[in-house]
Protein backbone atom coordinates (compact mmCIF):
# COMPACT_ATOMS: atom_id res chain seq x y z
CA UNK A 1 0.00 0.00 0.00
CA UNK A 2 2.92 2.34 0.67
CA UNK A 3 4.13 2.12 -2.94
CA UNK A 4 0.63 2.88 -4.24
CA UNK A 5 0.31 5.85 -1.87
CA UNK A 6 3.71 7.20 -2.94
CA UNK A 7 2.78 6.84 -6.61
CA UNK A 8 -0.50 8.68 -5.99
CA UNK A 9 1.38 11.54 -4.31
CA UNK A 10 3.86 11.77 -7.19
CA UNK A 11 1.07 11.77 -9.76
CA UNK A 12 -0.65 14.55 -7.86
CA UNK A 13 2.48 16.65 -8.48
CA UNK A 14 3.62 16.87 -4.89
CA UNK A 15 7.19 16.76 -3.63
CA UNK A 16 8.17 13.54 -1.91
CA UNK A 17 11.37 12.72 -0.05
CA UNK A 18 13.49 10.04 -1.75
CA UNK A 19 15.97 10.02 1.11
CA UNK A 20 16.30 11.87 4.38
CA UNK A 21 17.10 15.52 3.76
CA UNK A 22 16.47 15.51 0.01
CA UNK A 23 13.44 16.29 -2.08
CA UNK A 24 12.40 15.29 -5.55
CA UNK A 25 10.85 17.47 -8.20
CA UNK A 26 8.80 16.58 -11.24
CA UNK A 27 9.03 18.68 -14.38
CA UNK A 28 6.33 17.76 -16.84
CA UNK A 29 6.77 17.76 -20.60
CA UNK A 30 4.93 21.07 -21.10
CA UNK A 31 6.93 23.21 -18.69
CA UNK A 32 8.27 25.94 -20.95
CA UNK A 33 10.16 27.61 -18.12
CA UNK A 34 12.42 24.64 -17.43
CA UNK A 35 12.59 22.65 -20.69
CA UNK A 36 14.32 23.61 -23.91
CA UNK A 37 12.98 21.88 -27.03
CA UNK A 38 14.83 21.82 -30.36
CA UNK A 39 13.46 20.43 -33.62
CA UNK A 40 9.88 19.54 -34.45
CA UNK A 41 7.76 18.41 -31.46
CA UNK A 42 4.06 17.80 -30.94
CA UNK A 43 2.44 18.15 -27.54
CA UNK A 44 -0.70 16.03 -27.37
CA UNK A 45 -3.37 15.98 -24.70
CA UNK A 46 -4.67 12.49 -23.94
CA UNK A 47 -8.10 12.04 -22.43
CA UNK A 48 -7.08 9.09 -20.26
CA UNK A 49 -5.22 9.59 -17.01
CA UNK A 50 -2.19 7.50 -17.93
CA UNK A 51 0.11 10.50 -18.46
CA UNK A 52 1.46 12.99 -15.96
CA UNK A 53 -0.60 16.21 -16.35
CA UNK A 54 -2.47 14.57 -19.27
CA UNK A 55 0.07 15.30 -22.03
CA UNK A 56 2.88 13.54 -23.87
CA UNK A 57 5.41 15.27 -26.14
CA UNK A 58 6.59 13.46 -29.27
CA UNK A 59 9.40 13.99 -31.78
CA UNK A 60 10.02 11.93 -34.89
CA UNK A 61 12.62 14.21 -36.44
CA UNK A 62 16.18 12.87 -36.30
CA UNK A 63 18.21 14.98 -33.87
CA UNK A 64 15.19 16.55 -32.15
CA UNK A 65 15.99 17.15 -28.49
CA UNK A 66 14.72 18.29 -25.14
CA UNK A 67 16.95 19.55 -22.34
CA UNK A 68 16.39 20.20 -18.65
CA UNK A 69 18.76 22.17 -16.43
CA UNK A 70 18.31 21.37 -12.74
CA UNK A 71 20.00 21.59 -9.34
CA UNK A 72 20.39 18.03 -8.15
CA UNK A 73 22.22 14.75 -7.78
CA UNK A 74 20.05 12.34 -9.84
CA UNK A 75 17.66 12.68 -12.76
CA UNK A 76 15.18 10.30 -14.38
CA UNK A 77 13.28 10.48 -17.67
CA UNK A 78 9.78 8.98 -18.00
CA UNK A 79 7.83 8.51 -21.19
CA UNK A 80 5.55 6.40 -23.29
CA UNK A 81 6.94 3.14 -24.63
CA UNK A 82 5.16 1.53 -27.57
CA UNK A 83 5.76 -0.18 -30.91
CA UNK A 84 6.54 3.15 -32.63
CA UNK A 85 9.07 4.19 -29.98
CA UNK A 86 12.52 5.32 -31.14
CA UNK A 87 16.01 5.13 -29.70
CA UNK A 88 17.63 8.18 -28.12
CA UNK A 89 20.99 9.36 -26.88
CA UNK A 90 21.29 10.91 -23.42
CA UNK A 91 23.81 13.59 -22.53
CA UNK A 92 24.49 14.99 -19.09
CA UNK A 93 26.49 18.21 -18.90
CA UNK A 94 27.42 17.83 -22.58
CA UNK A 95 28.93 14.35 -22.20
CA UNK A 96 27.45 11.07 -23.41
CA UNK A 97 25.57 9.34 -20.57
CA UNK A 98 24.15 6.44 -22.55
CA UNK A 99 21.32 5.55 -24.86
CA UNK A 100 17.75 4.57 -24.12
CA UNK A 101 14.71 3.25 -25.91
CA UNK A 102 11.07 4.29 -26.10
CA UNK A 103 10.27 0.98 -27.84
CA UNK A 104 8.14 -1.80 -26.34
CA UNK A 105 5.90 -4.47 -27.87
CA UNK A 106 3.05 -3.29 -25.64
CA UNK A 107 2.06 0.19 -24.46
CA UNK A 108 3.79 1.24 -21.23
CA UNK A 109 2.72 4.62 -19.85
CA UNK A 110 4.95 6.53 -17.44
CA UNK A 111 7.75 4.06 -18.15
CA UNK A 112 11.19 4.87 -16.75
CA UNK A 113 13.29 5.49 -19.87
CA UNK A 114 16.53 6.57 -18.20
CA UNK A 115 18.01 7.04 -14.71
CA UNK A 116 21.33 8.81 -14.18
CA UNK A 117 24.18 7.72 -12.00
CA UNK A 118 24.62 9.82 -8.86
CA UNK A 119 25.91 13.26 -9.86
CA UNK A 120 27.93 15.75 -7.83
CA UNK A 121 25.61 18.22 -6.07
CA UNK A 122 24.99 21.29 -8.21
CA UNK A 123 23.62 22.40 -11.56
CA UNK A 124 23.39 19.83 -14.35
CA UNK A 125 21.75 19.60 -17.75
CA UNK A 126 20.23 16.43 -19.19
CA UNK A 127 19.59 16.36 -22.93
CA UNK A 128 17.55 13.70 -24.72
CA UNK A 129 18.24 13.43 -28.48
CA UNK A 130 16.35 11.27 -31.00
CA UNK A 131 18.83 8.98 -32.76
CA UNK A 132 19.09 9.36 -36.52
CA UNK A 133 17.16 6.46 -38.03
CA UNK A 134 15.50 8.13 -41.01
CA UNK A 135 12.10 6.96 -39.76
CA UNK A 136 9.87 9.85 -38.74
CA UNK A 137 7.17 7.39 -37.67
CA UNK A 138 9.52 6.25 -34.87
CA UNK A 139 9.25 8.75 -32.03
CA UNK A 140 10.64 9.67 -28.65
CA UNK A 141 7.63 10.22 -26.37
CA UNK A 142 8.46 12.31 -23.29
CA UNK A 143 6.08 12.50 -20.32
CA UNK A 144 8.14 14.02 -17.48
CA UNK A 145 11.52 14.32 -15.75
CA UNK A 146 12.12 13.75 -12.05
CA UNK A 147 15.23 14.86 -10.18
CA UNK A 148 16.55 14.89 -6.64
CA UNK A 149 17.49 18.34 -5.40
CA UNK A 150 21.00 18.97 -4.14
CA UNK A 151 20.13 21.72 -1.64
CA UNK A 152 19.20 19.32 1.15
CA UNK A 153 15.69 20.74 1.38
CA UNK A 154 12.38 20.02 -0.27
CA UNK A 155 12.41 20.98 -3.93
CA UNK A 156 9.43 22.63 -5.55
CA UNK A 157 7.17 20.95 -8.07
CA UNK A 158 6.62 22.31 -11.54
CA UNK A 159 3.79 21.52 -13.91
CA UNK A 160 2.04 23.00 -16.90
CA UNK A 161 -0.55 24.76 -14.79
CA UNK A 162 1.18 28.13 -15.32
CA UNK A 163 -0.12 28.39 -18.90
CA UNK A 164 3.18 29.83 -20.16
CA UNK A 165 3.64 27.41 -23.03
CA UNK A 166 5.88 28.66 -25.83
CA UNK A 167 7.27 26.28 -28.45
Average pLDDT of the chain to the nearest whole number? 78
Q: For 3-12, 54-63, 81-90, which range has the lowest pLDDT when averaged over its residues?
A: 3-12
pTM: 0.76
Residue 60 has pLDDT above 50, yes or no: yes
Confidence tier at 99 by pLDDT (50, 70, 90): very high
Confidence tier at 92 by pLDDT (50, 70, 90): very high
Cβ-proximal residues to 77 (8 Å cutoff; 6+ apart), any chain: 90, 100, 112, 113, 114, 115, 126, 128, 142, 145
Report DSSP state, residue 52: G
Query: What is the model's pLDDT at position 9?
Result: 33
Amino acid sequence: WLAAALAAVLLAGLTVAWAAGTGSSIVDNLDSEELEYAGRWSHTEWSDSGYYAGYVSAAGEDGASVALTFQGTNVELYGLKNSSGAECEIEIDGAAAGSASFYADTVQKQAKIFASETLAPGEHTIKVIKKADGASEKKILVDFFRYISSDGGQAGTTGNENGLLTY
